[in-house]
Amino acid sequence: MAGRDYLRIKVNEILKAENHPAVSPEQIDAIFKGIALVVTTGEKIQLQGFGTFARHLQAPRLGRNPKTGEPLQIPGKAKLHFQSNMPPFVVTEEEMAKMSKPKVPEVILPKAIPPKAAKVKSPPPVKS
């Protein structure tokens, strides 16, 4: 599940518990844009029970042109890093049994249709 979807679900659960209306995907996008704006300044953002957003700098490195094989310098860049604060997801054996046995819908086959009587062609008359 993508981070935005998970965040929207969690926020909606909290709001339902407090009798508030649900959060729209546009509102979640606005939250993530705000997070990205703050993280670009170099600050960390920690959302309790969800995770931490931070900026990590990737150092410049030496690469190769795949077509010619000649070395070239790849510039460094900043990347958005997310670390989850959630506990690991644990599946019980009972839940695993439910997941491993998919429900197969019962197939109702149509009644057998008797084949039509085959027309037998008589051989052509023999000319003498």
Q: Are 55 and 40 in contact (CB under 8 A)?
A: yes
Overall residue count recorded for the chain in this entry: 128
The CATH number of domain 3-59+68-86 is 3.40.140.10: no
pTM, rounded to two decimals? 0.47
- pLDDT lower than 50: segments of the chain: 1
For the chain, the domains span: 3-59+68-86
- pLDDT at position 11 is 67
- pLDDT at position 68 is 93
Owner of token pair 């000319």: 127
- pLDDT at position 108 is 66
**What distance in Å separates the CA atoms of residue 57 and residue 76, rounded to the nearest whole number?**
7
- Among 84, 76, 14, smallest CA distance to 52 is for 84
- pLDDT at position 1 is 47
Give how far Cα 102 sits from Cα of 41, 89, 90, 95, Å.
48, 21, 20, 12
